């Protein structure tokens, strides 16, 4: 009887030790994976030539016309990761990066992600024709007087800002990029995951 009691106690102790060991092992592994993910995430900014804005800066709200004739405000997109791109049809680098922006849009448009391509000081008919001829379907807004571009300090185009779901600027890229590269997709995935986990 005494032997059976001791055996039971030993078995219980072994189970407890195994549970504690498993808990600490899984916690350590999770922390290690998180650290590795953060290192990879930090690497993506410089590898894509994106200037990280840390701490994030609140983006100035605006209201602009769409190509369909309606109006939208930046605050309408709160809760989404925003790819805010300033461009013009006459800009060669802008035209060069737009096919990759389209592929980026097609990859993530079903997620909490939106591209807002702000055209600077061009007529809606010209911009609409440009988009249709090239099969581009991501949202375009019209900064007809260049007021929004000035408020964002745009000095050269294309210029792209990344905004978190709280409407804060977290990154900036001046010049054209291959937005459909593996690293670009990885960055968007990481930013979406970060937003999902609450920053």
pLDDT tens-digit readout, 106-124: 999 999 999 999 999 999 9
DSSP 135-162: T--S-EEEETTSHHHHHTT--SSSEEEE
User: How many of the other CB atoms lie within 10 Å of CB of 165?
Assistant: 20
The pLDDT of residue 118 = 99
Q: How far apart are alpha carbons 89 and 177 in whole angstroms?
A: 16
The pLDDT of residue 194 = 85
Q: How far apart are alpha carbons 76 and 179 in whole angstroms?
A: 24
The pLDDT of residue 195 = 79
The pLDDT of residue 23 = 64
* Residues 81, 188 contacting (CB under 8 angstroms): yes
pLDDT digits over 14-59, tens only? 776 757 666 655 554 555 444 444 445 578 889 899 999 999 999 9
Helix axes 92-108, 182-196, angle to 10 degrees: 50
The pLDDT of residue 60 = 97
**pLDDT at position 132 over 90:** yes
pLDDT mean over 155-164: 97
Average pLDDT of the chain to the nearest whole number: 88
In percent, the amount of the chain with pLDDT more than 90 equals 72
The pLDDT of residue 35 = 46
pLDDT digits over 167-196, tens only? 999 999 999 999 999 999 999 999 999 877
Q: Which of 10-24, 25-39, 65-79, 127-141 has the lowest mean pLDDT?
A: 25-39
* Residues 60, 172 contacting (CB under 8 angstroms): no
Q: How far apart are alpha carbons 125 and 82 in whole angstroms?
A: 25
């Amino acid at each position: 009887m005494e032997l059976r009691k001791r055996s039971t106690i030993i078995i219980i102790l072994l189970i407890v030790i195994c549970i504690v060991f498993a808990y600490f092992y899984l916690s350590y592994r999770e922390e290690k994976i998180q650290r590795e993910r953060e290192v990879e995430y930090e690497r993506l900014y410089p590898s894509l030539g994106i200037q990280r804005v840390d701490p994030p800066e609140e983006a100035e709200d605006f209201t602009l016309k769409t190509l369909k004739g309606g109006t939208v405000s930046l605050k309408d997109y709160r809760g989404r990761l925003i790819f805010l791109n300033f461009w013009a049809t006459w800009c060669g680098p802008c035209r060069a990066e737009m096919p990759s922006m389209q592929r980026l849009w097609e990859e993530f448009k079903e997620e909490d992600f939106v591209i807002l391509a702000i055209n600077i000081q061009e007529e809606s008919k010209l911009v609409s024709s440009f988009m249709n001829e090239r099969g581009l379907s991501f949202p375009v807004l019209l900064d007809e007087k260049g007021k929004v571009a000035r408020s964002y300090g745009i000095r050269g185009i294309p210029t792209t800002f990344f905004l978190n779901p709280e409407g804060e600027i977290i990154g900036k890229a001046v010049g054209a990029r291959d937005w459909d590269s593996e690293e670009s997709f990885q960055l968007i995935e990481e930013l979406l995951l970060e937003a999902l986990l609450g920053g």
